[in-house]
Copies of this chain bind each other. A is one copy, B any other.
Amino acid sequence: MTETVERLAARLRDFARERDWEQFHTPKNLAMALAGEVGELVAEFQWLTPGESASLDDETLARVRSELADVTNYLVRLADVLGVDVLAAANAKLDENGRRYDADLYRGSARKAPPLPP
């Protein structure tokens, strides 16, 4: 069976309810938890060159995968608590960025597109 964001959100909801952790899962707290996990993810790459970051050894990749999992869980949980459909929001933003960053105009340039070439 293919996993979906909806099913993951439902599992996270059950997980919190079974432990009576819903009281801690305010958007403010979950955003902080997300920031904490992203900090751990960034730390994995801090001393690597960009090239090294693209060819991780198995041990580092396993740690990175684990951090990506934590980030994903908090992101999906936060969105669920807020009632936001993240995939719909992400696709809408990508549509918007497609209009904003014309392919011919911004080709090969991060300079012209400082904020977010996604």
Contact = CB atoms under 8 A, between A and B. Distances in A.
Interface of A: 2-5, 8, 11-12, 15-16, 18-21, 23-24, 26-29, 31-51, 53-54, 56, 61, 64-66, 68-79, 81-82, 84, 86-94, 97-98, 101, 103, 106-108, 110-111, 114-118
Contact of A82 (B20, B61, B90): B61
Contacts of A47: 24, 29, 33, 110-111, 114, 117
- What number of copies of this chain does the assembly contain? 4
Contact of A97 (B15, B40, B117): B15
Given A24-B110, A38-B39, A42-B36, A5 B87 contact: yes
